[in-house]
Amino acid sequence: MGDSPEKLPEDIEALHAALLATRAELASVRAQQSDDQALIAHLKLQIEKLNRDRYGPRSERTARLLDQLELTLEELEASATEDELAAEMAAARITNTTTVASFTRQRPSRKPFPDHLPRERVIVSGPTSCACCGGLRLSKLGEDITETLEVIPKSWKVIQHVREKFSCRDCEKISQAPAPFHVIARGWAGPSLLAMVLFEKFGQHQPLNRQAERYAKEGVPISLSTLADQVGSCTVALTPLFQRLEAHVLSAERLHGDDTTVPVLAKGKTSTGRIWVYVRDDKPFGGPEPPGAVFYYSRDRAGEHPQTHLASYSGIFQADAYGGYGRLYEPGRNAGPILEAACWVHARRPFFVMADLAENARRKVQGKKPAVISPLALEAVRRIDALFEIERGINGQSAERRRAVRQELSAPLVADLETWMREQRAKLSRRNDVAKAMDYMLKRWSAFTRFLDDGRICLSNNAAERAVRGIALGRKSWLFCGSDRGGDRAAVMYSLIVTAKMNDVDPQAWLADVLARIAAHPVQRLDELLPWNWRDQNKRVEKAA
């Protein structure tokens, strides 16, 4: 036949069938390509997650990369499913003898549903007679079960606490059981409802007006002012627990500190307030104490605020080079010395910006002018990354072990880095961007090298940055705090919710239980309600059951 085109049938019905078969084949090929793309995206995501779990975050852009990969996978999976269904429908339209195999995606085997979920049996009535002979003598052999995961929409109910009254026939005195405790005096909202409102507002960043709109659509109208009243009352009730958390965090040997901006409503405008966070996390050096975070609000970023927050603290403080922290490191403090431990991630960031090869590649693809890659910045990033690679191998080990490894492996690298930086700095002008990045480190070299002599110190301040990340994301949703008092309330609730997350505790479930118990709970045993103690107590109860 050579290269001559295939002879087409002259019959219209045959042409129609051939066209349908061709479309079915194209749909199958398209579905196969979509499935391959989804599989590639899935494998890339798994590789990045495994690398993160094994080595830790490789750069400050790792979280953003994972988010991007997950979004890509989501879109490709949806597209692959659409193309698969289109291929099936195209194959089903073929009515003649032509056979075109429809494409079926190879999905991973589904994991069984969790055992703790309740099961509802829906019995499908069996046949009453034999489909073959019509006989009525049927005997049950067994059953096949098909499970479907379903969700029941949120339901509302009113709980009535009925207290019966009794009168004494002898003295005519009336007896009645005392009224149950409420979180709020004369309160009408149950603890689960209050926990949901608090977690939606401060954990999921849903303002109260949006919550009120949703509740009204569900048939339960609650005014915005009423919800705000509940939030204020709950904050007062939970303040003693915040104070116990504050004492725990500020008794740490080492603290992480950071701050972020918060828009605050003012007369005719919004001003910029600050949320400060101090994080205790002893896991990197194998400490036994549970992690925690405390937040504070301030109207501005004056240095007096961290000085007030840490007035009674002494120990190691890991933070950026904000000038307001300077007085904390002065000798002769009444509470004791605070040792500065600088963050190598902050130091690495300006070098990384000047040596971002991936960003330059994207700019070229977009037709933009690429930035100039600095060889010195690239070399600085390479040397700093070598230190982080050593840290990944000793993360979670004891402070003594970490110090020994650092003295053996990291100390020579740090000494070489200092020598190299001072040599290169002498060749650069004062206004050079690389010189500014080097000066940032060289002026604080003792703070940057303190980790070599103390295994408790981390190379980065990521613990504090992770704690304030939710606030940075939530700003786009709630826009601003209504007042300074609102900022203070937010700081208390952020402290409780973020600490619960750090201890692998469901914040909403914990808040619901705490709010149900705190009114009658002895103040001497208040620590029992802290997230880590609450979690351990629940595990013991479940194990005993």
CB 154 within 8 A of CB 219: no
Collapsing DSSP to helix, strand or coil, 175 comes out as strand
| pLDDT for residue 506 | 95
472 forms bridges with which residues in the sheet?
A: none
CB 461 within 8 A of CB 258: yes
Write out pLDDT tens, residues 134-182: 888 888 888 888 787 777 777 888 888 888 888 988 888 988 888 777 7
Low-confidence ranges of the chain (pLDDT < 70): 1-10, 41, 43-45, 48-86, 93-110, 185-186, 265-270, 357-372, 474-483
Residue whose pair of structure tokens reads 């500014």 in the numeric block = 436
Q: Tokens in use for 310? A: 């840490």
d(CA 148, CA 199): 29
d(CA 408, CA 420): 20
| CA 390 centroid distance within chain | 26
| pLDDT for residue 312 | 93
Collapsing DSSP to helix, strand or coil, 173 comes out as coil
d(CA 230, CA 398): 45
Q: Tokens in use for 191? A: 């603890």
Angle between helical axes of 433-442 and 344-353 (0-180°, round to 10): 170
Torsion sign (Cα): 132, 134, 135, 141: positive
Residue whose pair of structure tokens reads 């994080």 in the numeric block = 279
Angle between helical axes of 531-544 and 484-502 (0-180°, round to 10): 40
| pLDDT for residue 85 | 66
Which DSSP state fits 410? I
At position 534, the amino acid (one-letter code) is W
| pLDDT for residue 270 | 63
CB 477 within 8 A of CB 490: no
Q: Tokens in use for 351? A: 């070098």
Instruction: State the burial class of residue 72 (Cβ atoms within 10 Å of its Cβ: 0-12, 13-18, 19+).
Output: middle
What phi-psi label fits residue 104: left (phi over 0), alpha (psi between -120 and 50 degrees) or beta?
beta
| pLDDT for residue 20 | 76
| CA 505 centroid distance within chain | 13
